[in-house]
Structure 1
């Protein structure tokens, strides 16, 4: 049986040299073997030691042995991925993992990192987005390529099913580690993987393909909205002028505000915050109308004839309004 990861890489024009995010688990093991076989001497591996469980040292030792056998350099980064009170442990671990992978890549002169996320991971991501009431960006799932912390991350296996990777692992005998936390039903993603996906497969056997099609359609619509927002932001200026914002229909105004906050301030307003901001802008018909609203982790405030966002509480004496 041929490695399905190798089949996926055969049609990918990879940026070389390439780093593989290698956890030691089955999926990243299949990706590492495929990449090392296709581009010998051009592959390096990055391993994040989370320190969240006693087995973390065993994972690192396994990754070192596997990479030595494949002739692939391995770079290890240690991170404390514990979450703050009220913070999702899954979100905290994911942010820490990406930051560490990017730091490792930059430290070794690597601009591109390949991740082993596959079709089942994409479905799980979309279902989590649906459960949170996400918009088009969330329903678009994981992109094939993104930039984070100055590094390009790639997902060449998004059309490969998890079962195909696991079958190759079992048949080839490629050594890998099983993460015990993957069976912990306290985590939403694990409940989806272990309880919901089998039910979906029994009811809708083609759900992976149809979900992937929906993700692509959502991504196309999201890109179109981003293009419209970019045009509106260019017309309104930065910071945006209230007069230009007030000239837009409510739906288009919501779109431009959402993209302005995300693109320039990495702030994502809740639905309630965005609706309140829309109401305030629509009511802002005089120069004396004040706007100061909490949005994400900061505040949107009117200053003269523009809107500004602060990532901390704004001064107690705002700029005078004429």
Structure 2
């Protein structure tokens, strides 16, 4: 169920000291303000300067002034978050931001300066993430959307506002008399997430006022299913081996073959097959009944190949000549 901002913060109990990701926008400003008031002297902020727009310097200046007023230490990470060919700008910025947070986390952890990191995504962000996943035909892992807590770089990460509606965050912040900055790109509907925010969420609010709660339940159900599939994939990978023994792989149902292949490629080779690539690979595994059957299929950033009784994956760009 959605919560009020105050209720969500009251329930938030991270290990201290705590770092808060601070963009300067309303959500992260509210989160930092609430945390700094609740745990004075135990909170610091991390601001990532993406270097993507002229307004970024203004975001940093706002964060500096805010943290000075709150007497909160601020770490600023400057980076180049330009996207690679074929990558969305939003995804590139998000990945760069998490890498920057992780770098600060590792540095601070070595100094025993932080034990937890909090970031300010809220219930509307969760709904947008689920809708994005649906628009891309994602499986249950994608439909699980964003977890409220996870471990990364030896630090506990939290999203304490994940059950708070965006409007409630801004109303709370306005009541405190605290200003924030608006990212001008947030109104640019060339970006898919912005179109969802501007066009779909208001329509959903009008037609299904409880959509934030029901979407959150669906995401939670998908997360449980994804966890079960991950457990099954680990068991099947132990059975078929890595690299994969073709005959043992063929002993599994097609659905379990797909599950273990995705898990193997992601966990061992850090690559993800497209749906068409995985479908072709499954067809070739089913047809592989003779010694001379050749398998050489583009999957992710490399190729899945047959070598005798096994399937393996390689990336020709990282092979040593």
Fold in common (TM above 0.5): yes
Partners of 1:214 and 1:230 in 2: how far apart? 24
Partners of 1:309 and 1:251 in 2: how far apart? 20
**Residues 150 and 261 of structure 1, relative CA distance in 2, 3 Å threshold:** farther
Offset at 1:148?
Answer: 4.8
Residue among 233, 239, 252 paired with 1:235? 239
Indicate conservation of the 8 Å contact 1:46/1:75, yes or no: yes
Instruction: After superposition, give the CA deviation of every residue in 1:103-142 in whole Å (9 maximum; x if it has no partner).
Output: 1222222453211001000000010111111111111111
1:199-238 map, 5 Å: 199-238=203-242
2:39 matched to which residue of 1?
A: 39
Indicate conservation of the 8 Å contact 2:106/2:153, yes or no: no
Count of residues in Structure 1 that have an aligned counterpart in Structure 2: 314
Offset at 1:291?
Answer: 1.3
Partners of 2:84 and 2:317 in 1: how far apart? 21
**Residues 311 and 144 of structure 1, relative CA distance in 2, 3 Å threshold:** farther
Residue among 285, 297, 313 paired with 1:281? 285
**Residues 86 and 226 of structure 1, relative CA distance in 2, 3 Å threshold:** closer
Instruction: After superposition, give the CA deviation of every residue in 1:242-261 in whole Å (9 maximum; x if it has no partner).
Output: 12111001111111111111
**Residues 147 and 288 of structure 1, relative CA distance in 2, 3 Å threshold:** farther
Offset at 1:44?
Answer: 1.1
The yes-or-no answer on 1:134 pairing with 2:102 is no
1:155 matched to which residue of 2?
A: 159
Q: Which moved more, 1:113-122 or 1:61-70?
A: 61-70
1:318 matched to which residue of 2?
A: none
Instruction: After superposition, give the CA deviation of every residue in 1:45-66 in whole Å (9 maximum; x if it has no partner).
Output: 1000111111211111111111
Instruction: After superposition, give the CA deviation of every residue in 1:297-322 in whole Å (9 maximum; x if it has no partner).
Output: 1111122322211133697xxxxxxx
1:52 matched to which residue of 2?
A: 52
Q: What is the TM-score of this pair, normalised by structure 2?
A: 0.92
Structure 1 gaps of 5+ residues are: 316-322
Offset at 1:295?
Answer: 0.4
Offset at 1:289?
Answer: 2.1
Q: Matched residue of 1:133: which SS?
A: coil
Which structure is higher in RCO with an 8 Å CA cutoff and minimum separation 6?
2
Indicate conservation of the 8 Å contact 2:265/2:272, yes or no: yes
